[in-house]
């Protein structure tokens, strides 16, 4: 049941800290801070290329993971939406590997993409939350997310569990490929291990997100912006808002604003940006300033180091704990999901069962 919570989604949001912690414990040795992993049907040290495939929020996990595999593990990587991958017929050289991310493990398009990549000579790994699922059965290896049953149609804790698995794999592959040393691995796993505690604090401070939800609930359109590994989290924010509150929302790479979407900006369009401090901060902040100069209502999620610069032109600045940029996408996913939840509650939509949607999409 949902205990004292109003909705399964609210309960599942509150499970983020425990689920992230449980997932990390499967991979990270707390004493050495090294990442171990179950046996895989390929050697990450010599892997020529990695394919990542998923639908909806699972695809967003793939997009985030691609930044990690490329930048940290120096591994050539593609992230594809399964419904496109299955028909795209990309040229493949045998000997690569493909990972299929899915909460249910039953998503029809992802299963079809799996068949295609197997035929193309790739090793097949699934990252699923349901152990006896079809995707798990049809894979050479399965990596489990230990999120527990997720009832709400909107994915929450499965999403951060999937991100946690992918982050661990990126570090493990990075070591295997000689892209990082043990010291860097320990520094980054330490950052990961601190995420559950930060996540718990965010969940306790929901009043600010609820106030923000009041601001957003009357909007017709909302834009979400991010750069680098925060770009997929902008997509996640937009997807959750659409799915739960039926408000039109789009996620964009912040640098794409001036190539079209900035034409939408006026004072009725909230621009929600995921802008933690780090190497891409200045670039994102200057994109936001351009939107503000055109009357855009800027709402920024950042940390203490980013807050001061953003307060000069943003109408709201939500200050999150300061973390290493590596783990920032995991942490920022939580307030954007909370925001979509609270907007939906204010609008009175069916939070756990949004219209037209199913928990597992088993037909094409
Ligand atoms: O079971 P799966 O992870 O394969 O499901 C994929 C998508 O259908 C799912 O993530 C969907 O986008 C969610 N409703 C998003 O909250």
Radius of gyration of the chain (CA): 20
The residue whose two tokens read 């035929």 is 119
**pLDDT value, residue 363:** 86
Local structure of 186: helix, strand or coil: helix
Interval between CA 154 and ligand 1 midpoint (Å): 7
The continuous run of DSSP H or E covering 187 comes out as: helix 182-193
Sheet with strand 270-274: strands edge to edge: 248-253, 221-226, 270-274, 297-303, 316-320
359 catalytic per annotation: yes
What are phi and psi for residue 30, nearest 5 degrees?
-65, -25
The token pair that represents 270 in the structure block: 């909230």
The continuous run of DSSP H or E covering 323 comes out as: none
**pLDDT value, residue 335:** 98
Query: Is the complex ipTM higher than 0.95?
Result: yes
Query: Taking the C-alpha atoms of 99, 103, 108 and 109 in order, what is their torsion angle to the nearest 10 degrees?
Result: -50
**pLDDT value, residue 71:** 98
Per-residue pLDDT of the chain (364 residues; tens, 9 = 90+): 899 999 999 999 999 999 999 999 999 999 999 999 999 999 999 999 999 999 999 999 999 999 999 999 999 999 999 999 999 999 999 999 999 999 999 999 999 999 999 999 999 999 999 999 999 999 999 999 999 999 999 999 999 999 999 999 999 999 999 999 999 999 999 999 999 999 999 999 899 999 999 999 999 999 999 999 999 999 999 999 999 999 999 999 999 998 998 999 999 999 999 999 999 999 999 999 999 999 999 999 999 999 999 999 999 999 999 999 999 999 999 999 999 999 999 999 999 899 889 899 898 8
Give the count of alpha carbons within 13 A of 100, CB side only.
34
The token pair that represents 307 in the structure block: 């807050």
Test site for ligand 1: of 57, 105, 109, most ligand atoms within 8 A of the Cβ:
57
String of DSSP letters for 108-150: HHHHHHHHHHHHTT-EEEEEES-TT-HHHHTSSEEEE------
Q: Whose Cα sits closest to atom 7 in ligand 1?
A: 56
**pLDDT value, residue 333:** 98
**pLDDT value, residue 1:** 87
Interval between CA 209 and ligand 1 midpoint (Å): 24
Local structure of 29: helix, strand or coil: coil
Q: Is the CB of 155 inside a 6 Å radius of any atom of ligand 1? A: yes
């Amino acid at each position: 049941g949902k205990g004292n919570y109003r909705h399964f989604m609210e309960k599942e949001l509150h499970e983020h800290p425990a689920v992230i912690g449980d997932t990390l414990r499967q991979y990270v040795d707390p004493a050495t801070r090294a990442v171990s992993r179950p046996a895989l049907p390929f050697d990450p040290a010599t892997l020529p290329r990695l394919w990542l495939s998923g639908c909806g929020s699972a695809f967003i996990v793939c997009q985030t993971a691609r930044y990690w595999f490329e930048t940290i593990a120096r591994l050539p990587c593609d992230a594809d939406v399964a419904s496109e991958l299955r028909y795209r017929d990309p040229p493949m050289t045998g000997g690569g590997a493909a990972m299929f991310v899915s909460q249910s493990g039953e998503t029809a398009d992802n299963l079809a993409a799996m068949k295609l990549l197997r035929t193309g000579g790739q090793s097949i790994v699934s990252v699923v939350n349901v152990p006896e699922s079809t995707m798990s059965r049809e894979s050479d290896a399965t990596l489990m997310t230990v999120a527990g049953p997720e009832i709400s149609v909107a994915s929450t804790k499965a999403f951060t569990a999937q991100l946690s698995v992918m982050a661990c794999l990126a570090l493990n592959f990075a070591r295997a490929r000689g892209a990082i040393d043990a010291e860097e691995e320990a520094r980054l796993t330490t950052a990961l291990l601190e995420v559950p505690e930060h996540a718990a604090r965010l969940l306790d401070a929901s009043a600010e997100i609820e106030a923000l939800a009041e601001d957003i609930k009357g909007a017709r359109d909302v834009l979400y912006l991010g750069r680098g590994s925060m770009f997929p989290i902008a997509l996640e924010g937009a997807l959750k808002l659409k799915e739960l509150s039926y408000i039109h929302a789009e996620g964009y790479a912040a640098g794409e604003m001036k190539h079209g979407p900035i034409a939408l900006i006026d004072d009725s369009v909230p621009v929600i940006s995921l802008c933690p401090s780090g190497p891409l901060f200045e670039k994102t902040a200057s994109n936001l300033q351009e939107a503000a100069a055109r009357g855009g209502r800027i709402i920024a999620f950042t940390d203490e180091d980013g807050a001061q610069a953003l307060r000069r032109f943003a109408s709201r600045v939500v200050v999150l704990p300061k973390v290493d940029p590596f783990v920032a996408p995991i942490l920022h996913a939580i307030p954007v999901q909370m925001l979509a939840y609270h907007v939906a509650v204010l609008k009175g939509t069916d939070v756990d069962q949004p219209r037209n949607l199913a928990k597992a999409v088993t037909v094409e």
